[in-house]
Structure 1
Amino acid sequence: MEKGFFPGVQIGPLIDHKAINKVDALVSGAVARGARTLTGGRRRSLGGTFYEPTVMVDVPPQAEIFSEEIFGPVAPTFRFETEEEVTFGT
């Protein structure tokens, strides 16, 4: 049985190793630019393509995670003072 179907599992695995490598790189890149993880931020001990649910704060707009879609259990948060700062594509 796939580990994602074990009793008690609430978060399933990512689709493949390419996906987990991308999520890991986005999180690591944001941390390298000053973001902090409040929880998670690494691969799960279950192995395979499991990634810990992750909440990040103080993510700078220069971090790739600011503009890339994250296909994993990651919630980056960004500080802003005006609506103009969060309007994309302008």
Structure 2
Amino acid sequence: MLTISRSPSRTRHPFEKLFIDLGSHSPDKALAALTSAMQEERRDMNAFEWLSQALPGATLKPALAFGSVSELYRSYTRPAEFERLKGLRRV
């Protein structure tokens, strides 16, 4: 009899959905770097250029790499806010 061992699946951080690969960076570190870029007024910077400097080795999904840092930030915060609001509505 053949038994298949399954490793427990880890829950993905919602921020990981924006990346093909985070390289050696954690989702929390990547999100902190993006938040810092927003606070430092780098909103209009190209997302690919920002990523190359802030998180070397990480790869954004192609549609997001052509946008700005602020578009990348909104791509994360809008779905997160929507999920939060859906949770409030159920209560």
Same fold by TM-score, threshold 0.5 exceeded? no
Question: Which structure has the greater CA radius of gyration?
Answer: 2
Instruction: Name the structure where helix makes up a greater proportion of residues.
Output: 2
With a CA cutoff of 8 Å and minimum separation of 6, indicate the structure with the bigger relative contact order.
2
TM (norm. structure 2) is 0.29
Instruction: Name the structure where strand makes up a greater proportion of residues.
Output: 1
TM (norm. structure 1) is 0.30
